[in-house]
Structure 1
């Protein structure tokens, strides 16, 4: 931990937590960008989102990797975007 610049003051100066460094975006675009940065492999964006079903949830596939699909859907709390294993996702 870095020390205070004043030599007489020996209190430590803590860095801000990572979540305070960047503004939080909860809209579709922000969620999508965050999910694409966390892709399990190299993501390939789809030109047109495809309607898909995961369990009983209907959403849109917006990108994919060799093993995963990025699915976007609306739930009660707002938009949700997640990477899911491709074998769980069925195209409608």
Structure 2
């Protein structure tokens, strides 16, 4: 079964909303540029989001200085997940 970018974005939003240490509805999260950054999530929350994404999609996220922008938006995270699955699982 192929997962669409829209489905991945929706799941990422659910994960973010469940981890935020303040009340946050998934529908209130902007998918666009800097959508996550604008929420003001602390570094621990970002790490927890990464861990949950790794569990959900059975992937390994390798975020470094060259691609740390991935954690700025739901759109970038969704593209990273789909790219990782394509590269590593042949989907």
Instruction: Please report the TM-score for the alignment, with normalisation by the length of structure 2.
Output: 0.29
Structure showing greater relative contact order (alpha-carbon pairs closer than 8 Å, 6 or more residues apart): 2
Q: Structure 1 or 2: larger helix share? A: 2
